Chains A and B, each alone.
Chain A
Amino acid sequence: MSFRFNQENTIKIASLLNRYPQKKALILPLLWLAQKQEGFISDAAMKNISEFLELPLMHVYSVASFYTMFRFAKNEKKVIEVCRTLSCELNGSEDIKKYIQSNYSDRFEIVEVECMGACSGAPMCTLEGKYFENVTPQKIDKVFNDN
Chain B
Amino acid sequence: MITKIVSKNFEILNSHTMAVALENGRYASLENLFLQKPREIIDTISQSGLRGKGGGGAHAGSKWQLAADTQGTKYLVVNADESEPGTFKDRQILSKDPHLLIEGIICTCYAIGSHISYIYVRGEYEEFSDILQSAIDEAYEKNIIGSGAQYPLDITVHRGGGAYICGEKSALLESLEGNRGHPRLKPHTPQAESYFGEPALVNNVETIASVPFIVENGAEAYRAYGTEKSPGTLLFALSGHVEKPGVYEAEFGLGMWEYIHTLGGGVKNGKMLKAVIPGGASTPILPAHLVQEAKLDYESLKSLGTELGTGGMILLDEDASMVKALKNLLRFYHHESCGQCTPCREGTSWVDKTLDKFIAKTATTEDLKILKSVSKSMNGKTICVFAPAASGVINGFLKHFENEFLECIQ
- In the complex, A touching B (Cβ < 8 A): yes
Q: Quick one: closest B residue to A119, CB to CB?
A: B239
Taking the closest CB of chain B, its distance from the CB of A117, in whole angstroms, is: 5
Pair A89/B85 contact, Cβ less than 8 Å: no
Pair B156/A67 contact, Cβ less than 8 Å: no
A140-B220 Cα distance, complex, nearest whole Å: 49
Pair A86/B162 contact, Cβ less than 8 Å: no
Task: Encode A15-31 as 1/0 by CB contact (under 8 A) with B.
Answer: 01001111011111101
Residues of B within 8 Å of A32, CB to CB, are 123, 159, 161
Residues of A within 8 Å of B91, CB to CB, are 117-118
Pair B240/A91 contact, Cβ less than 8 Å: yes
Task: Encode B233-258 as 1/0 by CB contact (under 8 A) with A.
Answer: 00001111100011100000000000
Taking the closest CB of chain A, its distance from the CB of B228, in whole angstroms, is: 31
Pair B82/A29 contact, Cβ less than 8 Å: no
Residues of B within 8 Å of A31, CB to CB, are 161
A85-B330 Cα distance, complex, nearest whole Å: 10
Q: Quick one: closest B residue to A20, CB to CB?
A: B156
Helix, strand, loop or mixed for chain B's interface?
mixed
Pair A21/B198 contact, Cβ less than 8 Å: yes
Pair B176/A67 contact, Cβ less than 8 Å: no
A90-115: which have CB < 8 Å to B? 90-91, 113-115
Taking the closest CB of chain A, its distance from the CB of B137, in whole angstroms, is: 12
Residues of B within 8 Å of A25, CB to CB, are 176-178, 196
The reply to whether the CB of B222 lies closer than 8 angstroms to some CB of chain A is no
Interface residue stretch chosen among B320-328, B362-370, B372-380: B320-328
Interface residue stretch chosen among B48-56, B124-132, B398-406: B124-132
How many B residues, CB 8 Å from partner? 59
Residues of A within 8 Å of B325, CB to CB, are 86, 89-90
Pair B82/A28 contact, Cβ less than 8 Å: no
Pair B238/A120 contact, Cβ less than 8 Å: yes
The reply to whether the CB of B154 lies closer than 8 angstroms to some CB of chain A is yes
A21-B237 Cα distance, complex, nearest whole Å: 37
A71-B338 Cα distance, complex, nearest whole Å: 18
The reply to whether the CB of A144 lies closer than 8 angstroms to some CB of chain B is no
- Return the 7 tightest CB-CB contacts between A and B, nearest first: A67-B161, A119-B239, A69-B162, A120-B245, A24-B178, A68-B162, A27-B178
- 5 A-B contact pairs sorted by A residue (CB < 8 Å): A25-B177, A28-B159, A66-B161, A117-B122, A119-B312
Chain A residues at the B interface, C-beta cutoff of 8 Å: 16, 19-22, 24-29, 31-32, 53, 55, 62-64, 66-70, 84-87, 89-91, 113-122, 126, 129-131
Chain B residues at the A interface, C-beta cutoff of 8 Å: 73, 82-88, 90-91, 116, 122-127, 154, 156, 158-164, 175-181, 195-196, 198, 237-241, 245-247, 277, 281, 312, 314, 316, 320, 324-325, 328-329, 331-332, 335-336, 338
